[in-house]
Structures are given as C-alpha cells and as structure tokens.
Amino acid sequence: MLAAVYAVLLYVATAVFLGGLAVRVWQYASTPNPLKIVATPAPTTAAGVCLRLVREVAVFESLFKANKWIWLFGWTFHAALLVVVLRHLRYFTQPVWEWVALIQPLGVHAGFVMLASLLALWARRLVVARIRYISTPSDHLMLALLIAIAASGLAMKYAAPTDIVALKSFVLGLIYLDWQPLPADPPVLVHLGLVAVLMIVFPFSKLVHGPALLFSPTRAQVDDARERRHLVAWARALASER
C-alpha cells in the first residue's frame, strides 16, 4: 500500500516536473524578443554567446561581480547539489556506472556542503535587511524544503540507516514497472515525499531560473544588430500595415 502511494506520487511528480519544464522552455523559446537588448559588452558571435552562457551556468559570472557572499553560498549550494544528484544515479542504474561509483565519497561530503550553504543563504535572507525586505513566505519555504530534503537524506545514512538495497530495488522497480516494497523508515518517506513536492513545485516557481537563464535575452543574444537585421513576426506585421 505504502509502496503504491509513493509509486504513484513519484510518477505524478516526474510527469509534472518534465511536462511542466517542457512547457516553460517552449514558452520562453516561442515568445519573441522584438528588440536586441543584450547587455554589453557582449559576444559578437553565437559561439561567444555559448561561452558566455557556459560561464554564467558554471561559475555564476554575473553574481560573482555582484556580491561575493551570495556568490560563495549560491555557487557551493548548486555545485554540491549537482554532485549529490550525480551520486544518486547509483540508485537508478544496475550495474552502477563506474564513474558514479567513484564519486560516492565526494557525494556524501557534498550533502553536508549543500546543507551548510543552504543554511548560510537562509541566514542572509533573515539577517540582511535588504534581502529580508524582498523575501516572501515562499522564498523562506523553498529554502526550508531544500534543507529538509538534504537533512532527511543525510539522516537516512547517518541517523537512522535505512535498508538501502531494498530502497534501490523499489526505485528500479519504478523504472522497470516491476513494483517492489518500500522500506517504511521515516527519513526515507520524508525524503522521497519532499523530493516529489520539489519536482511538482519546480516548473511553477522561481526554480525555473535555471532553464530561464539560457533564454534570457540580455545574456543569450548576439551583439550584431548593425550587421544583421533583427525582426520578429509581430513587428513585421506592423511594418506591412502601413
């Protein structure tokens, strides 16, 4: 019964996450940029723009210019999250890929780094008057959610070790449609439940900032307005009206 509830929840969450994200990306990709509004100095070629976006995604270039503390906590959180997610691939693959096996020790440390940087980000949100002013309840809750996910995940390993082999066969069962029982440990249930919540919330919240960055016109446009005429459909229609 428990396994069935969680199975359905995780299927729904995955569908909402992927479907919602696809819709978002389609919305951003299909909404026109009638004008060149790239923030300069900017690359003058498409390859240059790709490199600019890689720098923004990989090292948060603009944020680094803005504020070293936000950059430090924000970047370490995202980097740690990436390692943690990669580490989790071991629960989805059989046999486990070699490189995934290799990063396992790193992944465990990353869990703590992630938790610490989330706490630091939350502290800034509470302590710095300017950031407190711009925060809504959802901004606090989002941090709480991520912290709870990280903490419950670490609890599964350190506080109340769960039957990880059983858990993995539950996950593999979800993938191969061969449902298996779910270990009924509280940290497991909390962890999986909150991850499902996160996936469901993702496409409808500020968490879309990741994919959005790739479509952000001030970053993703090429600085070539004088060389190439930029004209979108509704603007073209305006021109033919006259």
Partner 1 sequence: MDQVTVSDSEVPDPLEIPALAPGAMRASKPYGAAAEMQKPLGFPGALVENWQDKAIEKMAELRGKYRSFRLFLDACVKCGACTDKCHYFLGTGDPKNMPVARQDLLRQVYRRHFTLAGKYLPWLVGARDLSEEVLDDWYSYFHQCSQCRRCSVYCPIGIDTAEISMAGREIMDAVGKGQKYSNEIIGKVLRLGNNLGLSKKALQATLASLEEDVLEETGVPVRFPLDDEGADIMLVAPSADYFAEPHVAGLIGYAKVFHQAGASWTISSYAAEAANFGLFIGSYENMREIALRIRKAALDLGVKRLVFGECGHAWRVAYNFLNTLAGPFDFLDQRYPIPQHICEFTYDLMRAGRLTFDKSRNDHLRVTFHDSCNIARASRLGDRPGGQFEIPRAILKATCNHFFDMAADTIKESTLCCGGGGGLLTDELIDLRKKGAQPRMRALQQVAAEYGVTHMASMCAICKAQFSKVLPMYGFDMEAVVSLHQLVSNAIVLDRAGEASPKGQQ
Positions in the binding site for partner 1 (CB under 8 A): 24, 27-28, 31-44, 56, 60, 62-63, 65-67, 70, 74, 124-125, 128-131, 133-139, 141, 204-206, 208-209, 212-213, 215-220, 223, 225-226, 228-231, 234-235, 238
Rounded to 5, what percent of the chain is helix, strand, coil? 75, 0, 25
**Min dist. Cβ of residue 11 to partner 1 (A):** 21
**Min dist. Cβ of residue 178 to partner 1 (A):** 34
**Min dist. Cβ of residue 64 to partner 1 (A):** 9
**Toward partner 1, which CB reaches closer, 65 or 177?**
65
Residue 185 sits at φ, ψ, to 5 deg, of: -80, 140
Q: Judge contact between 144 and 107, C-beta under 8 A.
A: no
**Toward partner 1, which CB reaches closer, 99 or 234?**
234
**Min dist. Cβ of residue 128 to partner 1 (A):** 7
The per-residue DSSP string of 9-68 comes to HHHHHHHHHHHHHHHHHHHHHHS---S--PPSS--SSHHHHHHHHHHHHHH-HHHHHH-H
**Min dist. Cβ of residue 67 to partner 1 (A):** 5
**Toward partner 1, which CB reaches closer, 77 or 170?**
77
**Min dist. Cβ of residue 197 to partner 1 (A):** 13
Q: Judge contact between 164 and 88, C-beta under 8 A.
A: no
Q: Judge contact between 118 and 150, C-beta under 8 A.
A: yes
- Return the structure tokens found at 28: 């951003």
**Min dist. Cβ of residue 113 to partner 1 (A):** 18
**Toward partner 1, which CB reaches closer, 109 or 206?**
206
Q: In angstroms, rounded to a whole number, what is the distance separating the alpha carbons of residues 133 and 34?
A: 33
**Toward partner 1, which CB reaches closer, 136 or 165?**
136
Q: In angstroms, rounded to a whole number, what is the distance separating the alpha carbons of residues 238 and 203?
A: 34
Cα–Cα distance list, 69 to 32, 129, 136 (Å): 35, 15, 21
**Toward partner 1, which CB reaches closer, 5 or 231?**
231
**Toward partner 1, which CB reaches closer, 150 or 192?**
150
The residue type at 131: I
